[in-house]
């Protein structure tokens, strides 16, 4: 929810009976009922949160994805040969994780794989680091402002007060069936989830087979590993462009998401259609092909900003997560072993999926513009008080003053 003109102070006044079990832990700690929030206090709270929360979450996401990339690296270090993976078994080794099971029972792996194999060291190293980071997250990442140990009692109240104008609500322990049904019937939720599904299908395919494609151009194992740094650099660049650009250019999130997808389509075309003799052009195609991954934080931002009501927001988050898992299960099976290392059909499927995602992003943008205009025409943006809305656990459809970010 966008706020154009922030007032000098924000008055937070709400009767206990209106809280509707809204973050009872925060109420008990005095983190909701507060006084005035000045711009100086707002900046101080934001600075303290920014210095502590993003680094922890960044490390958590780093190690969440690190083990996924390890499979791609080990593909050219002997994993397929040593584990005798044939046909689509390598693709399943990547996809099966998202069912929550392991392709190989651990005791069988330890019996079959000798200690000298390089790929085992990678998994052990990344696994140990992931466990260490998970302990850090458990100890230092709060789930609500009431549990933020780096904030004082007054600052916890101010942390809730400063985002009241977003109208997206705060934690509520009461599960509301009507909000679940509203989420499942909301075109906004489905367009976002399906657009993300279409863009995430190429994700695990490219992640799993990129090193094989690059090595197939004639590079050694070491050079392939070094060259594979390039797509990661491009990922970072596109994330920064998207996040910074959409921050300073209001209502451009879906435009940046569409841009990222189109760039990835161009990259897939380069890999698929350019003559293998021009190997550096195809390498650049591999690098550009991962631009769509910048849509992950953009999608999370869309969920955070455009859905009010704790149960509804949780439901939409689950829809997006299911789309993420389903896409990663499907992706590796679009790359047929018989077509290695070029994978013509795989890159064609990538192009089709990304094109669908681009169309859905544009459709979602027009839908949200239409929704905002409909609300503006109703005249509810000026009439009615915003007082207490953020603490009432109402959904975006129940708040006439709510405006969608696109």
Q: What is the CATH number of the domain that holds 279?
A: 1.20.1250.20
Q: Residues with Cβ < 8 Å from 169, sequence gap 6 or more?
A: 22, 308, 309, 310, 313, 390, 391, 392, 393, 394
The answer to whether residue 31 sits within a structural domain is: yes
CB atoms within 10 A of CB 285: 22
Last residue of a domain, one of 104, 131, 162: 162
Kindly tell me the burial class for residue 234, based on how many C-beta atoms sit within 10 Å of its own C-beta (0-12, 13-18, 19 or more): buried
293 occurs within a structural domain: yes
Mean pLDDT of 199-223: 89
Residues 133 and 73 in one domain: yes
Residue-wise DSSP of 15-58? -GGGSTTBTHHHHHTTSSS--B--HHHHHHHHHHHHHHHHHHHH
Cα 182 to Cα 352: distance, rounded to the nearest angstrom: 31
207 and 154: one domain? no
Cis peptide upstream of residue 290 (ω within 30 degrees of 0): no
* Same domain? 118 vs 199: no
Q: What is the pLDDT of residue 133?
A: 78
Same domain, yes or no: 33 and 157:
yes
Is residue 96 assigned to a domain?
yes
In this structure, the answer to whether residues 332 and 221 fall within a common structural domain is yes
Question: What confidence tens digit (pLDDT) does each residue in 354-392 have?
Answer: 999 999 999 999 999 999 999 988 875 455 555 556 566
Same domain flag for 91 and 192: no
Q: Which of 309, 280, 298, 24 is nearest to 186 (CA)?
A: 309
- The mean pLDDT of the chain is 79
215 in any annotated domain: yes
Same domain, 205 and 335: yes
Whether 128 and 181 share a structural domain = no
Q: Which residue has the higher pLDDT, 85 or 111?
A: 85
Q: Which pLDDT does position 119 carry in this prediction?
A: 53
Q: Are residues 52 and 185 in the same domain?
A: no
Split at pLDDT 50, 70, 90, the class of 30 is very low
**52: pLDDT confidence band, cut at 50, 70 and 90?**
confident
The residue among 339, 69, 337, 341 whose CA lies nearest residue 217 is 341
Domain extent at residue 240:
176-406
SS3 track for 163-230: CHHHCCCCCECCCCHHHHHHHHCCHHHHHHHHHHHHHHHHHHHHHHHHHHHHHCCCCCHHHHHHHCHH
Categorize the per-residue pLDDT at 10 as very low, low, confident or very high, splitting at 50, 70 and 90: very low
For residue 266, count other CB atoms closer than 10 A to its CB.
14
Does 315 lie in the same domain as 286? Answer: yes
Structural domains of the chain, count: 2
- In three-state secondary structure terms, 11 is strand
The answer to whether position 249 is within a domain reads: yes
What tens digit of pLDDT does each residue of 53-90 get?
888 888 777 777 776 677 776 776 767 767 777 767 77
pLDDT at 192: 97
- Name the domain boundary from 162, 188, 222: 162
* pLDDT score at 207: 84
pLDDT at 316: 94
* Average confidence (pLDDT) over 274-301: 93
pLDDT digits (tens, 9 = 90+) for 259-279: 999 999 999 999 999 998 899
| Final residue before a domain boundary, out of 162, 194, 225 | 162
Contacts for 32 with CB less than 8 Å, ≥ 6 apart = 12, 14, 19, 22, 23, 26, 157, 160, 391
Using the predicted structure, report yes or no on whether residue 5 has a pLDDT greater than 50: no
Residue 247 and residue 158 share a domain? no
């Amino acid at each position: 929810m966008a706020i154009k003109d922030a007032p000098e102070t924000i008055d937070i006044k709400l009767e206990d009976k209106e809280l509707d079990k809204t973050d009872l832990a925060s109420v008990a700690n005095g983190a909701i009922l507060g006084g005035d929030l000045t711009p100086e206090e707002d900046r101080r709270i934001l600075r303290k949160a920014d210095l502590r929360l993003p680094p922890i979450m960044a490390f958590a996401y780093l190690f969440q994805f690190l083990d996924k990339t390890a499979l791609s690296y080990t593909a050219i270090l002997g994993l397929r040969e040593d584990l005798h993976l044939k046909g689509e078994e390598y693709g399943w080794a990547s996809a099966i994780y998202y069912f929550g099971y392991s392709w190989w029972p651990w005791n069988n792996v330890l019996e079959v794989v000798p200690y000298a194999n390089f790929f085992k060291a990678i998994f052990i190293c990344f696994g140990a680091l992931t466990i260490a980071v998970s302990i850090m997250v458990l100890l230092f990442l709060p789930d609500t402002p009431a549990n933020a140990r780096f904030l004082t009692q007054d600052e916890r109240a101010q942390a809730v007060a400063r985002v009241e104008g977003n109208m997206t609500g705060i934690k509520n322990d009461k599960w509301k069936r009507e909000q679940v049904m509203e989420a499942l019937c909301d075109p906004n939720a489905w367009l976002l989830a399906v657009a993300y599904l279409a863009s995430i299908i190429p994700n695990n395919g490219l992640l799993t087979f990129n090193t094989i494609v690059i090595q197939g151009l004639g590079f050694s194992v070491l050079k392939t590993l070094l060259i594979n740094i390039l797509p990661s650099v491009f990922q970072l660049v596109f994330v920064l462009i998207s996040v910074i650009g959409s921050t300073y250019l209001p209502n451009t999130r879906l435009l940046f998401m569409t841009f990222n997808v189109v760039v990835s389509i161009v990259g897939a075309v380069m890999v698929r259609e350019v003559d293998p003799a021009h190997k550096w052009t195809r390498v650049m195609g591999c690098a550009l092909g991962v631009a769509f991954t910048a849509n992950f934080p953009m999608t999370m931002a869309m969920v955070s900003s455009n859905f009010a009501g704790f149960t509804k927001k949780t439901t939409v988050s689950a829809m997006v997560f299911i789309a993420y898992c389903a896409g990663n299960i499907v992706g590796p099976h679009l790359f047929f072993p018989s077509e290695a290392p070029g994978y013509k059909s795989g890159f064609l499927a990538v192009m089709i999926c990304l094109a669908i995602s681009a169309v859905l992003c544009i459709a979602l943008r027009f839908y949200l513009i239409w929704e905002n205009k409909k609300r503006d025409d109703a005249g509810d943006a000026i009439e009615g008080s915003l007082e207490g809305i953020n603490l009432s656990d109402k959904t975006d459809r129940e708040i006439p003053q709510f405006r969608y970010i696109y």
